[in-house]
Chain A
Amino acid sequence: MSTKNHYAFVIDVARCIDCRACLVACSVENKVPMNHTRIWVHDQGVQGEWPDLSHTFVPYNCMHCDNPPCTEVCVSGATYKDAVTGLVLVDQEACIGCGYCVEACPYGARYIDQRRGVVDKCTACVQRLEVGLQPACVATCVGKARMFGDLNDPTSEASVAIQNATSVTRLDYEKDGTDTDPNIFYLNLPTTGSILSSDTFNQVPNATLPRDSRYTIAEEGWKKVAIPVLAAAMGATFLVQAFFFTKQLVAGEKEFEE
């Protein structure tokens, strides 16, 4: 889907020092409940053999994908890709908090705010964008690792950063017909495989993605049982009454009964 603005995050992993200022800033700016987080930093763990060690920190939030699996499964249409900004947002008045989208996201970017019963996630601080500010995490990043901007504008900070970078990676998820095309562009992401393969991350603490986009049991129930059975039932009754109606028309009306 092409949108007016193509907002994207650009994160230079070499600059991230895991200070977590971004996490606190987001929590305050967006009143995130204390037991959830909209954004996080993935600690890859100390790699290598002594003394040739390395340690990388990878910040994450919602990837505001070009083809988001979350919008595919939302039954009420509450989550959508905004036509103007290109951000993936949740209309929390239309959201019923069923959580299909939480399971469907390969990046684990969504959570259910049980206090309000709705789904919540990174919105790229759309309320700040409206008044010309950067998202809270970007504005406060001490290492200047986080950048944000409109890729449709070649002079934006994000566009320039990507142009000048030597190593640009996206954590694309391609499986079962889904190709997310995420909009976080990582610079200087190490390619030693510890985040890109979906089984390694289950063993590394704090690792979260990309993981399999999941159907819930209820959704499976919808698709495999409810819809086919009901379609068959309605089809059958419709056909039955259509048959009799046709017969009636053909036979003609009778004023009185036999």
Chain B
Amino acid sequence: MSHTSIPLPERQRLRQKLIKKHNLANILTHWFNVASWLLLLPTGIAIISSPRLGITPIWWQEAFRNLFGSDANLIRFHYTIGFIWIFVILFNVFIGFRKYFVPFAAHRMLLDNDDIEWMKTKPLQMMGFIKDKPLPPQDAYNAGQKVYSYFVVICTLGIMVSGPVMVFKNLFPPIVKQIAQPIHFISVFVIVAWLFIHVYMGAVFPEEKEAFFSMFSGKVSAWYARAHHEKWYNEKLKEEMEWEDQVEAEVQKSQQLADEHGGPD
């Protein structure tokens, strides 16, 4: 969307004005997830010590085994953090599941035609092609983010199911545990593959700088919102105007009441 259609004072105003995008719960959950992954991923990789599979380098395995003292301690640490992570994430999701998560999923996570059009156009534009074609407007989360979220949900579920299967080992027959291993591994590394993009796009890519800081402050500038998430911006604008109208109506009403009772008392 071109900025030239908007006069400079307006542009400056929009850059100053902040809109709330993420609430506190979202922020905390996100960073809790990051912290958990920072503990779970390296320890998880260190656990995979099968010489025949040959995934983890020996020096990595040894470093962690020395750090924790034994295989069993390393595994216990991994699944303890894992269980805490499962509990907190599920708790956060299921608190207000019906009130918040379901409408959120229905409203913000489903793909529509704009999203599909965006998915065809954006990657080519990023590589430098078809710069002229206008990008369809996006909602609070763009199509790429929506698809990423699908993978996160499915893979997280995969991790959360396959992990405990391997911990509660006397409850499941061996074949289930054998299948749980690659499911766990695949779920983790599909997310890791996406993480390369998510981290880059969220934190490094220059256009998304504001998005990164919004994961701390919870707010984005109206300018950013209008540029990247136009549909959501318009919705917010409409809400603001409605709210303004409401305020205006109440001010007028109290003014009227004051007038009716004659001057100041």
Contact = CB atoms under 8 A, between A and B. Distances in A.
Direct contact, A vs B (beta carbon within 8 Å): yes
Interface of A: 71-78, 91, 93-100, 102, 112, 114-118, 216-219, 221-223, 225-227, 230, 233-234, 236-238, 240-241, 244-245, 248, 253-254, 257-258
Given A73-B52, A254-B206, A244 B169 contact: no
Given A114-B173, A116-B170, A117-B169, 9 more contacts: A77-B49, A98-B166, A98-B181, A112-B174, A225-B182, A226-B186, A234-B192, A241-B200, A257-B207
Contact of A257 (B51, B167, B181, B227): B227
Listed residue (B76, B168, B178, B194) with the most chain A CB atoms within 10 angstroms of its CB:
B178
A111 B166 CA distance: 17
Contacts of B179: 218
Contacts of A257: 3, 207, 227
Interface in B217-248: 227
B196 A241 contact: yes
B152 interface: no
Contacts of B95: none
Contacts of B212: none
B52 A72 contact: yes
Nearest to A74: B50
B53 A253 contact: no
A248 B203 CA distance: 13
Contact of B197 (A95, A98, A117, A237): A237
A234 B47 contact: no
21 contacts: A73-B52, A75-B181, A76-B47, A91-B72, A93-B72, A96-B166, A96-B167, A99-B174, A117-B172, A118-B170, A217-B178, A218-B178, A218-B182, A230-B193, A234-B189, A234-B192, A238-B193, A240-B196, A241-B199, A241-B201, A248-B206
A185 to B, nearest CB: 26
A77 B193 contact: no
Contacts, number: 139
The 8 nearest A-B residue pairs measured at CB:
A117-B169, A117-B170, A77-B49, A218-B178, A99-B174, A93-B72, A94-B71, A241-B200
A26 to B, nearest CB: 22
A171 B3 CA distance: 80
Interface of B: 3, 47-53, 55, 61, 65, 70-72, 75-76, 126, 166-175, 177-182, 185-186, 189-190, 192-194, 196-197, 199-201, 204-207, 227
Contacts of A72: 50-52
Contacts of B166: 96, 98
A222 B182 contact: yes
Contact of B71 (A91, A102, A237): A91
Nearest to A119: B174
Contacts of B204: 241, 245, 248
B178 A237 contact: no
Given A222-B182, A248-B205, A115 B196 contact: no
Contacts of A75: 47-50, 53, 181
A77 B196 contact: no
Given A114-B173, A117-B171, A94 B178 contact: no
